[in-house]
Structure 1
Amino acid sequence: MADRPQGSGMPEKGTPEYDWLYGSQSQSPSSDVTRQVPAQGADRPDETRVMPVARREARGSGGQPPGRTRTAASAPPPKPKKRRWRPRLRLGLIPLLLLLIVVWLVAVPLYFWTKIDKVDAQPSGDRPGDQPGTNYLIVGSDKADDLTDEQREVLDTPERGGTNTDTIIVLHTGSGGRTMMSIPRDTLVEVPDGGTQMINAAFASGGAPLLVQRVEALTGIHIDHYVELGFGSVINTVDAFGGVEICPKQDMKDPLARLDIKKGCQEVDGLTALAYSRSRHVTALSDLDRVARQREVISALGSEAKTPWTFVNPVRYWKLNKAASGAIRVDEEMNPLDLGRFALAMTGDSQTCTMPNLSAPSDPNRIIADPDRAPALFNAIIEDTTVPKAACTPTGRARS
């Protein structure tokens, strides 16, 4: 390769070695050798050119250019809109309220559970074996020591521990449904030493264990739990609900029961509800009509207890538990969960019956279990099956 010319400056135009760069003067202007492009002028407007850069003033804080003061005539910046305050429930508040409600609903019954009397209701001797479902024996006694002085004066009854029972009901719950069967207090039953005796006499002579034994011997139904209600349980519980509805089918005036009401559905207080369930001297069937009214009052209490207002209203809920605990006795084997199941059974829809019965041949004022129809009702409860309609009537007498 030929040596390059030495020198300190740029190569000069016209030097033969560099004609390829600058071209030679002998070459025509149309040759395609590289040539210097003339500078852009005004006579060549279509050629691309650099556009002048728009000058942008910097702005300082407040939206004004630096060094420039906002005058009074300048429009002020728009004010931010005020947001309306709206209450917001924090997610943690709702679970807390629900927890407090659950604690209240559980704690109140547990507290009053400690106030309930427990009795020994375990009978002696042979008993029917365990059976499906659960059977409660509900006993309404004339226990009056839970009444106030004012209530005792109205009822004209002394304070006593409860020696008689006007109400004997077997409440069955299971897959066959709920059945509430009344056993009339004048029912004659056999006794171990021979002869017969009214079933309510067992309560007077032997208390809860003997009454359970007589009911089991009569029906073959195994009694799982015993619940005894006194006068005060009806009065105070009805008043805690603010009254219950009863529907007498005729005018009823019974001075012995202190009852005076008209025919038709009506709201009554606790004293009237108790008198209505105790009266037995007005209607033709006496005690048989009375057991039907007793179930009517119990069902009315159950209907009131299952309304949401019972649980939403803390005052009503407290009064209800207090009234029930002050006038109830349960067997020693029952626990709070068993009592809760009993309460649910009482508030549910039940098929109500009176034990199928006939007038006793030896005494028309006493009754006996109908040997033809009663076993069908007893067996349905024992086997936890549907009760036949023919065996379930309000008074226990055969349908005409």
Structure 2
Amino acid sequence: MNADPPPPPRGRRPGPPQGRDDDRTRHYGAPGQQPGPPQAWSQDPRQRPPAPQQRPPQQPRGQQGRQGARNDGIQYAPTQTPEPFVDDDPRYRRRGAQRQGPPPQGPPPQRPGGPDRYGRPDPRRRPPKPRRRRRFRWGRAILIALLVIILAVGGLVLYLDRSLHRVDALPDYPGRVAQTAGTNWLIAGSDSRYGLTEDQQATLNTGGDVGDGRTDTIVLMHVADSGKPTMVSIPRDSYVPIPGHGRDKINAAFAIGGPPLLVQTVEGATGLRIDHYAEIGFGGFAGVVDAVGGVKLCLDQAVDDPAHNISLPAGCQKYDGAMALDFVRERYALPGSDLDRMANQRQFVDTLASTVAKPTTWLNPVRMWNVVNRGVSSLTVDEGTHIWNLASLAWALKSGPVTTTVPIGGFEDTSSGNALIWDRDRAQTFFQTLAEDKQLPADLVTSNGFG
């Protein structure tokens, strides 16, 4: 029996352990033995594999999990029950990808900040901040509403202003009258049928087309800086100088040179500088009356003019556009002819202004829009007049103006026919008072021009 090999000396590498393959031992034998003849590897009894060791029978996996350890003395982890894989965790789902497979069983996933579906808190999830209940801010809502209203009104004003027909009616000629106090408007009522169809001319009883039109009505409106405005009727047959054409009836200035010559003639005859010019025709006049819903007028006696197909009953009644046009045009059936017609025109303008100023008109958006739209579309103004200038004139007339006529001295036969002559002295005092922006004395305020 061979003795155990001596321990290896220090510093030398230990040999292979006993029982392992070693070519040196196989070929040359153990130390201290004579080497035998060479043998094949399979003939060496030391190279035979050891007999397999008998292991204790293994228990089923389920029993091992319940016992928690095997009999071989090695501690193993407890057996876990396998679960089917479901790729439905929203944390690992790609953006835009749809959920695959059957819907997960159990309660729905918690909101961010709560535990995950396994009941464990997720440190990556932050609890949501409590939402503050927003309070309705009345100040901001009112400010936005006011801004919308201002923009809407501004757009409407610009639209109406661009709808006005404009002409160069205020010429700057040599020797023009200097600026006077207050604001002076020259308003001309033309008998132009422009824009009216044959049916409309028949309805309004205009008598057919007359060309470019004539001025049946000439009104000088003086708006004082303080006090009531003054509405002065200028008779159409007034015999006055017309620049460049000698003396003639004042309505001839419009027929010869249009609005510019009419303005220049009025400025020369009155000594007042005209600041604004406005002209309205038959169609626009009737349209404004219809838009406001009619005007209530009272006649002391009936007016019957078969020659011009005009018949107006006595008493108070509401006049529509066609009847109102007959009322302001009629002069043949009146005792004072053109002078009585001017009184009727001033009465109508005063009544129309007070009707428009009533709350039933300007608080009704539809009616107010119709009045403004009809009035603007039928007006012709100078180039410097805007919609806000017209609004200021309407506002000045709401309380009722002082209505009067130019002081008249009498009638005279001229080369232009029977014409009306002004009372020179009284007329000079009359217009000088207006130029100084003063109220007219009672003796100068007349309905027909005679004192």
Structure 1: distance between partners of 2:329 and 2:228: 28
SS at match of 2:277: strand
> What is the match of residue 406 of structure 2?
355
TM normalised by structure 1 equals 0.72
Residue aligning to 2:221: 171
What code does the residue aligned with 1:252 have?
A: V
Q: Could you tell me which of 269, 272, 282 is aligned with 1:231?
A: 282
Equivalent-residue separation in structure 1 for 2:397 and 2:151 (angstroms) = 23
Is 1:140 the counterpart of 2:189? The answer is yes
Hey, what's the Cα distance between the residues in 2 that align with 1:297 and 1:210? 27
Aligned residue type for 1:179: T
Give the C-alpha shift of residue 236 in structure 1.
0.3
Which residue of structure 2 lines up, in the alignment, with residue 277 of structure 1?
A: 328
Letter in 2 for 1:165: T
Aligned CA distance change for structure 1 residues 378 and 257 (closer, same or farther; 3 Å): farther
Q: 2:162 aligns with which of 102, 114, 118?
A: 114
What secondary structure does 1:373 align onto?
A: helix
In structure 1, the partner of 2:305 is 254
Question: In the alignment, is the contact (CA less than 8 A) between 2:221 and 2:229 conserved in 1?
Answer: yes
Give the direction of change, closer, same or farther, for the CA distance of 1:367–1:96 in structure 2 (3 Å limit): same
Q: Gaps (5+ residues) in structure 1?
A: 1-87
- Taking the aligned partners of 1:336 and 1:270, their CA distance within structure 2 comes to 23
C-alpha distance in structure 1 between counterparts of 2:152 and 2:350, whole Å: 26
Distance of 1:256 and 1:184 partners within structure 2: 23
**C-alpha spacing 1:161/1:312, structure 2 compared with 1 (3 Å):** farther
What is the deviation of 1:194?
7.0
Paired residue for 2:111? none
Match of 1:50 in 2: none
SS in 2 for 1:303: helix
Map 1:283-294 onto structure 2 (within 5 A): 283-294=334-345
Which amino acid is 1:171 matched to?
M
Q: Could you say which residue in structure 2 is the equivalent of 1:384?
A: 437
Aligned counterparts of 1:309 and 1:148: Cα–Cα separation in 2: 32
Q: Deviations over 1:344-377 (max 9, x none)?
A: 2343420000111122333594211112322222
The C-alpha deviation readout for 1:41-93, integer Å capped at 9, x for no partner, is xxxxxxxxxxxxxxxxxxxxxxxxxxxxxxxxxxxxxxxxxxxxxxx996666
The within-5 A match list for 1:1-400 is 105-123=153-171, 124-154=173-203, 155-159=205-209, 162-174=212-224, 175-192=226-243, 195-362=246-413, 365-398=418-451
C-alpha spacing 1:280/1:92, structure 2 compared with 1 (3 Å): same
Query: 1:347 is paired with a residue of what secondary structure?
Result: coil
Partners of 2:367 and 2:361 in 1: CA distance: 6
**Structure 1 residues 194 and 261, CA gap change in structure 2 (3 angstroms):** closer
User: What letter is aligned with 1:262?
Assistant: P
Does the aligned pair in 2 maintain the 1:236–1:270 contact within 8 Å?
A: yes
Q: Distance in 2 between matches of 1:106 and 1:258?
A: 45
Contact 1:257 1:275 in 2 (8 A): no
Which ranges in structure 2 are unaligned for 5 or more consecutive residues? 1-135
* Residue type at the aligned position of 1:111: Y
For residue 386 of structure 1, give the secondary structure of its aligned residue in structure 2: coil
**Shift of residue 250, structure 1, vs aligned partner:** 1.3
Deviations 1:175-207 (A, max 9, x none): 243000010001001234575200000000100
Change (3 A) 1:257 1:144: same
Greater RCO, CA 8 A, separation 6+: 1
User: In 2, Cα distance between the equivalents of 1:101 and 1:293?
Assistant: 40
Query: Are the structure 2 counterparts of residues 237 and 366 from structure 1 closer, same or farther at C-alpha, using a change threshold of 3 Å?
Result: same
The residue type paired with residue 272 of structure 2 is I
Contact 2:412 2:418 in 1 (8 A): no
TM-score normalised by structure 2 residue count: 0.64
Q: Which SS does the other structure have where 1:267 is aligned?
A: strand
Q: CA deviation at 1:99?
A: 5.6
Greater mean deviation of Cα atoms: 97-106 or 285-294: 97-106
CA distance in 2, matches of 1:259, 1:102: 47
Q: Is 1:144–1:160's contact at 8 Å kept on the other side of the alignment?
A: yes
Partner of 1:7: none
Structure 1 distance, partners of 2:320, 2:184, is 30
Q: 1:150 to 1:365 in 2, by over 3 A?
A: same
Cα contact 1:144–1:157 (8 A) shared by 2: no
How many angstroms apart in 2 are the aligned matches of 1:318 and 1:192? 41
Structure 2 distance, partners of 1:388, 1:374, is 13
Cα displacement string for residues 202-230 of structure 1 (whole angstroms, at most 9, x for unaligned residues): 00010001001111111111101100011
Residues 272 and 241 of structure 1: is their aligned pair in 2 closer, same or farther, counting only changes over 3 Å? same
Question: Cα distance, 1:127 vs. partner?
Answer: 1.4
Distance 1:194 1:110 in 2: 40
Classify the secondary structure of the residue corresponding to 1:118: strand
> SS where residue 163 of structure 2 aligns?
coil
Structure 1 partner of 2:130: none
Task: Please tell me the root mean square deviation across aligned C-alpha atoms, in Å.
Answer: 2.4
CA-to-aligned-CA distance 1:246-304 (integer Å, 9 cap, x gap): 22221111234432112222211001101100001111110001111111121122111
Equivalent residue letter for 2:427:
A
